[in-house]
Structure 1
Amino acid sequence: MRTQTLPEARAITATPTRKRFFIMVLLFITVVINYLDRSNLSIAAPALTSELNIDPVHVGLVFSAFGWTYAAMQLPGGWLVDRVPPRILYTVALALWSIATIFLGFVGSFVGLFVLRMAVGALEAPAYPINSRVVTAWFPEKERATAVGFYTSGQFVGLAFLTPVLAWLQATFGWHMVFVATGGVGVIWAVIWYMVYREPRDFKGVNQAEIDLIKDGGGLVDIQTDTDKAKSGFSWKDLGIVLTQRKLWGIYLGQFCLNSTLWFFLTWFPTYLVKYRGMDFIKSGLLASLPFLAAFVGVLCSGFFSDWLIRRGHTVGFARKLPIIAGLLISTSIIGANYVDSTPLVIAFLALAFFGNGLASITWSLVSTLAPSRLLGLTGGTFNLIGNLAAIATPIVIGFLASGESFAPAITYIAVLALLGALSYILLVGKVERIELDNPR
């Protein structure tokens, strides 16, 4: 028997480093910035639309502008994620969408608003497929939902704590500064991401024990090397694979329903409080933070609870689907806001619904688990495309439903979609396992 060398023995006994959790923090900060740039228009909207004299139907169209290009660019964005390293692609996308956000601060017409929001949507398209790609490379399966839950919480905690700040900026310096400030932060972060991010084997301070822990646990630490070897042009066959799987359609449709609630909060929510519930802007800015805090708690509970179930011996499918289905069912409670007049009760129903949305928001962990390994980006892009059709539909549908005196039909619409999302996961997803290309069905 061969005697182990000293370096080999050290490698076996070394404690794994924990650099993957630093990567989790990087993704969290990036998501905070990403969602501030999606939602800043909702903060500025009451003052902006009044100044530019834009009616509710056209407000809905402006809110939807992001979604048109964001959805349309998902497949090209996913294709890029499979070919361009995250360090490069995220830097370029983040810098460009942040510059477009800054320009929004100087717009003076409906057309200008619409075009620049379309630009932000197109440039943000690769963001979440990149997040999924990074987590798949850096985390073993048993930690992946926690990682997804943690970075996803950035979209809620950032808005929860920073919405009052943006409301104050708008009230003190005007709506223009809301866009300039959020865009400026994004440009700075793009530089930081480029300087710091690396793949697992190239990241300074990562030891072999951590690499082995990730790889043995199902993480694809060599995904960039494998992707470089397998690079090819766009394939309709590959697109056919990700569009013809029942279980993938289960998560696609579920994501559309989940995002419908999210996009209500990212677009019409402040206007609902100010115009339909009669709150002043500063007060509504403070109250608007409460549902985002509830969603933040929900998403953290979801990731930790899901990974805890796996460690307790439950299947990946049960551990991932239980919080998603439960969260979507809880989100239907938003309909309760139609039946109360008290401001605390309205906020309570909205907070409970958004808590459910947060609880359900580890859906990207299923993309990582179900997608064919060489089509992570394309699957993620398709998932995000269909899911973010809600970014188009929700603002427009609500704009028409709320064109009268009552907002109740719009709230009912969101509740019904949440119920349909739960049914999609219950009836369509089935057994959770990676789709193999040699037996795609």
Structure 2
Amino acid sequence: MPRKVLEQAVVEQAAQTAARRAGRYRWAICGLLFAATAINYVDRQMIGVLKPVLQADLGWSEREYADIVFWFQCAYALGFLAMGRFIDAVGARLGYAVAFTFWTLAHAAHGLVGSVSQFVMVRFALGVGEAGNFPAGLKVVADWFPQRERAFAIGLFNAGANVGAIATPLIVPAITLAYGWRAAFIATGLASLIWVAAWLAIYRRPEEHRRVSPEELAYIRSDPAQPTQHPTLGRLPWGRLFAVRQTWAYAIPKFCIDPIWWMFLFWLPDFLGKRYGLDLKSFGPPLVVIYLMSDLGSVAGGWISSRLIARGWSVNSARKLTLLGCALAVMPVMTVQSVDNLWLAVLLIGLATAGHQAFSANILTLPSDLFPRAAVGSVVGIGGTAGAIGGMLIAQFVGTVLQLTGSYALIFMVAGCAYLVALVALHLISPRLTPTGELAS
């Protein structure tokens, strides 16, 4: 056996032994992130589920609905920049609580408004607050998990998005049919404030948490020491992050793939209604199947690359091979507009959303793979802004295409190609996924 392979096997055996001996409290923290992300997605997806009801009640056109989505994305783009920096400055515990409270109150306020301009205002506030979820969550993962577990942990907490997407078409129609759409916004908003109390009561950094054993803390901190400074850029001040290639290795793929997820989130109920005649009472089961498949993709995508790293693959090879498989899984969605059978269409869309979530779980590891912990929130914020700008563009694109043609064919063609484009861009920008601290070595 070659010496390098033997050394990798010894290191991995030692890591597995350390993991078994260490405690597992870090996974409870991951559970909190999962719950927050599920609530985050209930709040943002509700407008998509209620689109037919809102359009009928308030008389929105396709363009007006697209404008409301556009301004949410605009706020999300601006909010990501601000929230990423804010969370790096004040820490994940306080930063997450502030962001969660702000977006929850904005979500509940949807039940108090009626015009397009008023919906734009509350969606804008929702976008600013929701932008804090992923910078905070990824910063927590970087702080609580060694590199070999991060993709899996991110896949788990990112799976909360799909649970939220599953819960929305099951819970919201029932509340809406019984009490109206305004009550649905207010009730789901106020109920979710319980999470803030749990977060403030439970969360501390690993070194400060009484439930973390010395063995688990040693395992969490088992990666090689991270540099606190970039060899040529110093302490990576926020503005100068834009000069680092690794920032763009994260931001450009986010710009490519995030808009596709937004399209699914905000327009999928509408597609199922127009193409297959489903309504508020009947599109729940297809959406549940689609987002269950997404959940499996999120967890599997993180598990596969983490497993490959555990078997001795480089981070670069493990991440990119997994990303390639995910990109290929999305491509069949290009044919879905021509599929007459509802459940075959559901499977094709579910495969695409699973591919997205698996792809996303690996892309979301890049800030912690490539940057010191102190910069993770800021880099996540920059990438999130890039993704939200893409979301702004896709909102206008989808609204225009539907207004002019009434067909989703071109929209699904764009969706099917986006992930290969993202992977090619990532590889061109960072062929070896070199961390910032190694650039001068």
Name the TM-score, length of structure 1 as normaliser: 0.89
Which of 90, 93, 96 is residue 87 of structure 1 equivalent to? 93
SS at structure 1 position matched to 2:177: helix
Matched-pair identity in % = 27
Q: Deviations over 1:67-116 (max 9, x none)?
A: 10110122221111211121111111111110111110121110110110
Q: Does 1:323 align with 2:322?
A: yes
Equivalents in 2 of 1:393, 1:182: separation in Å? 29
Report matched runs for 1:120-269 at 5 Å.
120-218=126-224, 238-269=237-268
Deviation, 1:324, is: 2.2
Match of 1:343 in 2: 342
Deviation, 1:390, is: 2.6
Match of 1:28 in 2: 34
Q: Deviations over 1:172-193 (max 9, x none)?
A: 3222233123212332211211
Deviation, 1:241, is: 3.7
Deviation, 1:359, is: 1.7
SS at structure 2 position matched to 1:62: helix
Match of 1:292 in 2: 291
SS at structure 1 position matched to 2:221: helix
Contact 2:99 2:129 in 1 (8 A): yes
Equivalents in 1 of 2:160, 2:207: separation in Å? 26
Match of 2:429 in 1: 428
Equivalents in 1 of 2:225, 2:298: separation in Å? 22
Deviation, 1:303, is: 1.2
Match of 2:380 in 1: 380
Match of 1:308 in 2: 307
SS at structure 2 position matched to 1:433: coil
Match of 1:108 in 2: 114
Equivalents in 1 of 2:417, 2:315: separation in Å? 28
Equivalents in 2 of 1:172, 1:218: separation in Å? 56
SS at structure 2 position matched to 1:205: coil
Deviation, 1:45, is: 1.4
Compared with structure 1, are the counterparts of its residues 105 and 295 closer, same or farther at alpha carbon in structure 2 (3 Å cutoff)?
same
* Stretches (4+) displaced over 6 A: none
Match of 1:407 in 2: 408
* Residue-pair matches, total: 418
Structure 2 unmatched ranges of 5 or more: 1-17
Match of 1:98 in 2: 104
Q: Deviations over 1:260-315 (max 9, x none)?
A: 22101210111111134322222112211211111111111111111111111001
SS at structure 2 position matched to 1:406: coil
SS at structure 2 position matched to 1:402: helix
Compared with structure 1, are the counterparts of its residues 309 and 133 closer, same or farther at alpha carbon in structure 2 (3 Å cutoff)?
same
Q: Deviations over 1:145-186 (max 9, x none)?
A: 111110001101231244222222223322223312321233
Name the TM-score, length of structure 2 as normaliser: 0.89
Match of 2:72 in 1: 66
Equivalents in 2 of 1:143, 1:285: separation in Å? 34
Equivalents in 1 of 2:286, 2:178: separation in Å? 18
Q: Deviations over 1:230-259 (max 9, x none)?
A: xxxxx9973454223334323212112221
SS at structure 1 position matched to 2:96: helix
Contact 1:320 1:365 in 2 (8 A): no
Contact 1:136 1:368 in 2 (8 A): yes
Question: What amino acid does structure 2 have at the position aligned with 1:405?
Answer: G
Contact 1:251 1:429 in 2 (8 A): no
The farther-off stretch of 415-424 and 51-60 is 415-424
Contact 2:139 2:373 in 1 (8 A): no
Deviation, 1:438, is: 7.9
Compared with structure 1, are the counterparts of its residues 382 and 439 closer, same or farther at alpha carbon in structure 2 (3 Å cutoff)?
farther
CA RMSD of aligned residues (A): 2.4
Question: What amino acid does structure 2 have at the position aligned with 1:371?
Answer: F
Equivalents in 1 of 2:394, 2:173: separation in Å? 23
Equivalents in 1 of 2:329, 2:304: separation in Å? 16
